[in-house]
Amino acid sequence: AKAAGKNRFHFHTEVAAREAARQFELEAQLRLAIAREEFELHYQPKLGVDDRAVTAVEALVRWRHPNRGLVMPGEFIALAEDRGLIVAIGRLVIKMACRQIAAWRRQGIEPPCVAINVSAKQFADDVLLADLTAAMTESSVGGGELVVELTETALMADPERATGVLEALRRLGVRIAIDDFGTGYSSLSYLKRFPADEVKIDRSFVDGLPEDPDDLAITQAVIAMAHSLGMKVVAEGVETEAQRSALAAMGCDQMQGYLLGRPMPVEDLVGRLSKAVHG
Ligand code: C2E
Ligand code: CA
Ligand code: CA
Ligand code: CA
């Protein structure tokens, strides 16, 4: 038994060492990727619940790895946050989103609003506002063309400071969405004090619709509360027609999900946009 215990110990340390080496390698590659700007944005439409018109698009980052192909954010965003690389990646995301808006305009396409995901560490860094302003100026993008998506965690880390940053974003004309709503620990009083324009109901609640009574109750409560505070509600992760119609019946404003459109490269999105613009 002792020998087995020892082996298990060796096994665990080996696994841990291999994982640490893998993370180290990934971090080194990520640093190179930032220098080489190996990132691209895919876009997922946000649509009106009733008319299904594209109201905005959410920019979702992908890493175009030289030999691994397309790497999803779930594989590198957490590490980037941990190793202090998220601000540099976020800066590239902001720049790419603004350049895309300018490109659409040059092509005679009415640009949709672009929602940008900003992670907690990036929100906590004072450079965010400067990065946004620089990219907006470079591409002649107005604040009204951008939405910043923030999680409750990002806002609650330092609520005092968060309120100030949100007000500064608002002065730029940038709209604010609270992402993954319901999964954090923010209270009603905080929601009231943060000047947000939009609340995104987390996919974990939408999953259970329309059958799960708890998910129904939570969704209904979030919609009622958000509306009473003058905020719009976006449901994430809508995959079925039954979910869509339940959300429509509850008065949800907008939705996103595989039922309506997966995140897609910009070439694929253009068809959806011209449809939205030209009827
Ligand atoms: P999120 O902001 O909550 O984005 C929604 C995620 O759900 C996306 O995954 C999207 O592809 C996926 N999704 C959309 N509709 C459906 C659906 O109907 N069913 C299911 N099962 N999934 C759906 P993705 O693109 O892998 O992004 C994952 C997360 O990575 C995002 O979650 C966001 O937190 C983060 N992320 C993505 N892009 C950026 C970025 O540019 N900066 C930062 N800081 N984080 C980002
Ligand atoms: Ca988001
Ligand atoms: Ca989410
Ligand atoms: Ca998320």
∠ CA 137-114-26, rounded to 5°: 90
- Residue range 213-218: mean pLDDT, rounded: 94
Q: What is the pLDDT of residues 221-234, one digit of tens each?
A: 999 999 999 999 99
Mutation probe of ligand 1 site: the residue of 42, 46, 60 with most atoms within 8 A of C-beta? 60
Q: Residue 5: which pLDDT band, with cuts at 50, 70 and 90?
A: low
Confidence check: pLDDT of 253 > 60: yes
CA of 149, closest atom in ligand 1? 2
Confidence check: pLDDT of 270 > 70: yes
Q: Is 41 exposed, middle or buried (0-12, 13-18, 19+ CB in 10 A)?
A: buried
Structure tokens that stand for 156 in this block: 């609650």
Q: Residue 182: which pLDDT band, with cuts at 50, 70 and 90?
A: confident
CA 226 – ligand 3 centroid, Å:
17
Mutation probe of ligand 1 site: the residue of 77, 176, 269 with most atoms within 8 A of C-beta? 77
- Whether 196 and 166 have beta carbons less than 8 Å apart is answered as yes
- Residue range 144-167: mean pLDDT, rounded: 93
Q: What is the pLDDT of residues 38-59, one digit of tens each?
A: 999 999 999 998 878 898 999 9
- pLDDT of res. 207: 95
Confidence check: pLDDT of 70 > 80: yes
Confidence check: pLDDT of 275 > 60: no
CA of 122, closest atom in ligand 1? 44
- Write the single-letter amino acid at 87: V
HSE value, Cβ hemisphere, 13 Å, CA-based, for 172: 26
Ligand that comes closest to the CA of residue 73 = 1
Structure tokens that stand for 104 in this block: 């659409």
ipTM of the complex: 0.97
CA 203 – ligand 1 centroid, Å:
10
First to last CA, the chain: 73
Pocket lining for ligand 1, CB < 6 angstroms:
44, 60-61, 72-74, 77, 90, 93, 117-119, 179-180, 236-239, 256-258, 263
Q: What is the pLDDT of residues 84-125, one digit of tens each?
A: 999 999 999 999 999 999 999 999 999 999 999 999 999 999
Q: Residue 278: which pLDDT band, with cuts at 50, 70 and 90?
A: very low
- pLDDT of res. 234: 97
Confidence check: pLDDT of 186 > 70: no
Q: Residue 188: which pLDDT band, with cuts at 50, 70 and 90?
A: low
- pLDDT of res. 9: 65
Residue-wise burial string across 77-95, b where 16 or more C-beta atoms lie within 10 A, e elsewhere: beebbeeebbbbbbbbbbb
CA of 239, closest atom in ligand 1? 18
Which of 131, 133, 113, 183 lies closest to 154, judged by CA? 183
- Whether 122 and 87 have beta carbons less than 8 Å apart is answered as yes
- pLDDT of res. 193: 82
- Whether 231 and 198 have beta carbons less than 8 Å apart is answered as yes
